Amino acid sequence: MHRIITIIYGLLALGYVLTTLYTPYSWGFLLKASPILLLAVTVLTRRSLPAKWMLLGAILSSACGDMLLALPIEHSFILGLSAFALAHVLYACFLYQWHDVTRLTPLTIGFFFVYVVSMLLLLVPSVGALLAPVLAYFIVISLMFFSAFVARTPTYTLRVGAILFVTSDSLLAINAFITPLPFQSILVMSSYYAAQYFIATGCMALAKENHGN
């Protein structure tokens, strides 16, 4: 990705992260989604990018999730969760075009299994009526996670992005259902913006590396 776009993305992300330390304001949802919308514009301008619309759909779904979670509307959490679930499915579908299951190691599977079991043991007693959507979300984020780890690319960009996305969602869930975290907005949003950047750039690089193969 062009250095100028990276700098603008970082400044937009930093701008929103800093505003979370203050009282919410009416148009905060737009600033929250602005870094992700910048990624969408970047993908849109890549004329020769294979399966561009699938990747664009994943990024725009994420932006919708950002705004829905930030808006003071009824069922905002479920709507936002659904938008992000769709984003994970689209990311996984995009990555599946260039998958190689031999890249997935027993160690990765084992660590992720321990993570999922640990999170479920913590969350299940606390989520109440949201158990079904939370479980469904774990399924789709797992799909995205493993799709990133089996992608046929020589770099670790996608893997870093997937780990950061799981980290961000885990921090958000812990804060929402288990115990308030200090500086949770900074921790959640910083890891989230980094995750989206690494995943989007990793997807574009992956498509370029394997185009025509």
pLDDT for 197 beyond 60 = yes
Quote the tokens at residue 109.
């599977």
Which of 161, 154, 149, 153 has the alpha carbon at shortest distance from 109?
A: 149
Share in percent of the chain as helix, strand, coil (round to 5): 80, 0, 20
The pTM score is: 0.94
pLDDT of residue 213: 47
pLDDT at res. 188 = 95
Closest among 193, 209, 191, 201 to 35, alpha carbons compared: 193
Q: Count CB atoms within 10 A of the CB of residue 165.
A: 26
pLDDT one-digit tens code per residue, 106-121: 999 999 999 999 999 9
Residue-wise DSSP of 159-185: HHHHHHHHHHHHHHHIIIII---TTHH
Q: What is the pLDDT of residue 22?
A: 79
Closest C-alpha among 116, 159, 111 to residue 137: 116
Encode pLDDT of 183-194 as tens digits. Answer: 899 999 999 999
| pLDDT (tens digit per residue) in 20-76 | 887 776 678 899 999 999 999 999 998 888 889 999 999 999 999 999 998 888 889
> What total number of domains does the chain contain?
1
Domain residue limits at 75: 3-210
Q: What is the mean pLDDT of residues 127-147?
A: 93
Q: What is the pLDDT of residue 83?
A: 97
Q: What is the 3-state secondary structure (H, E, C) of 8-63?
A: HHHHHHHHHHHHCCCCCCCCHHHHHHHHHHHHHHHHHCCCCCCCHHHHHHHHHHHH
